[in-house]
């Protein structure tokens, strides 16, 4: 939707160039995912370095010589630190953000150590995998993900990440909860950007079919809005309608309800307060007409 909107705003008709940028933006989501996930590893390393330097001070205190290492020995942080899947992905994608901006890691570490979450964890003598896991999940959810300075850094680093940050953080939170208690650090796997080849091809097809069939898709809904001429319909709303209609007519494997629900959510997020009601009304009427005219051809079970 954003790529099609950008094409309209720029007056561009270079489909290949815009498609290339679309996929480039999607690829960058994987970089954001790796940056956020690796922050946990780098925070652990920073604390290890702090403890090591503190213990070697000439006038080190008793606590500095015999520190509480529960945080740096956290089982989940150990799994992430020793995980080949994560290490290879970071190297392949050339993710060096924290090496060049380690001050943000120190900011996050400081925020963690000042939290009640950290204080409770370090004073607790339970020492179970479940406790370690819950602590890491809570630290990521309550301290790392909402950190404003980190958010500002990510926004400045790549503008397209603004909309991707919640998606990535939710995915990481889910993954952290699913890590199993295993002596094998490679029991954790870095998430794939696409589910499979068809998933990536869907992106290409939806983009191309919506752009290339723009006049025909516009005609489908313009007659359903007698009180609105084309110029009065918000541009984002028009794009959302065209993409939804494209899925109705040219993607037989996508259920009608899925299409409607997805685009209503997009409208709520990106368009005007009343857009979702407006779009829902048009799509509902179109579905009824398509069914009556046998134009809505869907394959598989539960697709209506």
Tell me the three-class secondary structure of 13-68, residue by residue: CCHHHHHHHHHHHHHHHHHHHHHHHHHHHHHHHHHHHHHHHHHCCCCCCHHHHCCC
Mean pLDDT of 32-48: 97
Looking at per-residue pLDDT, the higher value among 225 and 27 belongs to 27
The answer, yes or no, to whether residue 251 has pLDDT greater than 90, is yes
- Mean pLDDT for the chain overall: 92
Query: pLDDT at position 300, please?
Result: 64
Six token digits for residue 222: 């313009």
Mean pLDDT of 254-263: 96
Q: Pick the range with the lowest mean pLDDT from 50-54, 184-188, 291-295.
A: 184-188
Looking at per-residue pLDDT, the higher value among 148 and 228 belongs to 148
What is the rounded (10 degree) CA torsion for 17, 22, 27, 31? 110
Looking at per-residue pLDDT, the higher value among 222 and 216 belongs to 216
Mean pLDDT of 220-237: 74
The whole-model pTM stands at 0.87
One DSSP character per residue, 234-283 reads: -HHHHHHHHHHHHHHHH-TTS-HHHHHHHHHHHHHHHS-TTHHHHHHHHH
Q: Is the dihedral of CA 94, 96, 97, 100 positive or negative?
A: negative
Mean pLDDT of 282-302: 87
* Domain boundaries defined on the chain: 1-178, 197-293
Q: Are the C-beta atoms of residues 183 and 82 closer than 8 Å to each other?
A: no
The answer, yes or no, to whether residue 183 has pLDDT greater than 70, is yes
Query: pLDDT at position 287, please?
Result: 96
The fold of the 197-293 domain, in CATH, is N-utilizing Substance Protein B Homolog; Chain A (1.10.940)
Query: pLDDT at position 224, please?
Result: 74
The answer, yes or no, to whether residue 42 has pLDDT greater than 90, is yes
Looking at per-residue pLDDT, the higher value among 122 and 299 belongs to 122
Q: Are the C-beta atoms of residues 194 and 94 closer than 8 Å to each other?
A: no
Count of helices and strands (H, E) across the chain: 16, 0
Task: Give per-residue burial for 265-290: e unless 16+ CB within 10 Å, then b.
Answer: ebbeebbeeebbebbeebbeebbeeb
The pLDDT > 70 percentage for the chain reads 96
The answer, yes or no, to whether residue 302 has pLDDT greater than 70, is no
Listed in sequence order, the residues at least 6 apart from 33 whose beta carbon sits closer than 8 Å to its beta carbon are 168, 171, 172, 190, 191
The answer, yes or no, to whether residue 58 has pLDDT greater than 90, is no
The answer, yes or no, to whether residue 228 has pLDDT greater than 60, is no
Looking at per-residue pLDDT, the higher value among 222 and 169 belongs to 169
Residue 173, class by beta-carbon neighbours within 10 Å (0-12 exposed, 13-18 middle, 19+ buried)? Answer: middle
Mean pLDDT of 191-196: 92
Listed in sequence order, the residues at least 6 apart from 126 whose beta carbon sits closer than 8 Å to its beta carbon are none
The answer, yes or no, to whether residue 301 has pLDDT greater than 90, is no
The answer, yes or no, to whether residue 261 has pLDDT greater than 90, is yes
Residue 222, class by beta-carbon neighbours within 10 Å (0-12 exposed, 13-18 middle, 19+ buried)? Answer: middle
Q: How many CA atoms lie within 13 A of 20 on its CB side?
A: 4
């Amino acid at each position: 939707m954003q790529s099609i909107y950008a094409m309209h705003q720029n007056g561009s008709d270079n489909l290949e160039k815009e498609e290339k940028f679309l996929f480039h933006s999607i690829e960058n989501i994987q970089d954001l995912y790796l940056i956020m996930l690796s922050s946990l590893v780098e925070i652990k390393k920073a604390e290890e370095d702090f403890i090591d330097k503190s213990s070697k001070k000439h006038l080190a205190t008793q606590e500095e010589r015999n520190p509480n290492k529960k945080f740096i020995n956290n089982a989940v942080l150990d799994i992430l630190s020793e995980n080949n899947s994560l290490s290879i992905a970071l190297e392949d994608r050339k993710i060096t953000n924290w090496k060049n901006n380690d001050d943000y890691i120190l900011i996050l570490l400081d925020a963690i150590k000042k939290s009640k979450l950290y204080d409770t964890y370090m004073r607790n003598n339970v020492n179970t995998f479940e406790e370690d896991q819950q602590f890491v999940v809570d630290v990521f959810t309550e301290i790392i993900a909402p950190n404003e300075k980190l958010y500002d850094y990510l926004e400045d680093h790549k503008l397209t990440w603004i909309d991707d940050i919640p998606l990535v953080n939710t995915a990481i939170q889910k993954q952290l909860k699913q890590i199993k208690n295993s002596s094998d650090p490679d029991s954790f796997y870095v998430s794939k950007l696409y589910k499979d080849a068809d998933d990536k091809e869907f992106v290409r097809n939806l983009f191309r079919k919506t752009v290339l069939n723009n006049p025909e898709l516009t005609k489908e809904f313009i007659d359903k809005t007698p009180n609105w001429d084309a110029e009065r319909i918000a541009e984002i709303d028009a794009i959302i309608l065209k993409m939804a209609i494209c899925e109705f007519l040219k993607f037989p494997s996508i259920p009608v309800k899925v299409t409607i629900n997805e685009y209503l959510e997009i409208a709520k997020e990106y368009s005007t307060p009343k857009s979702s009601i407006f779009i829902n009304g048009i799509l509902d009427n179109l579905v009824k007409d398509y069914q009556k005219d046998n134009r809505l051809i869907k394959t598989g079970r539960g697709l209506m």
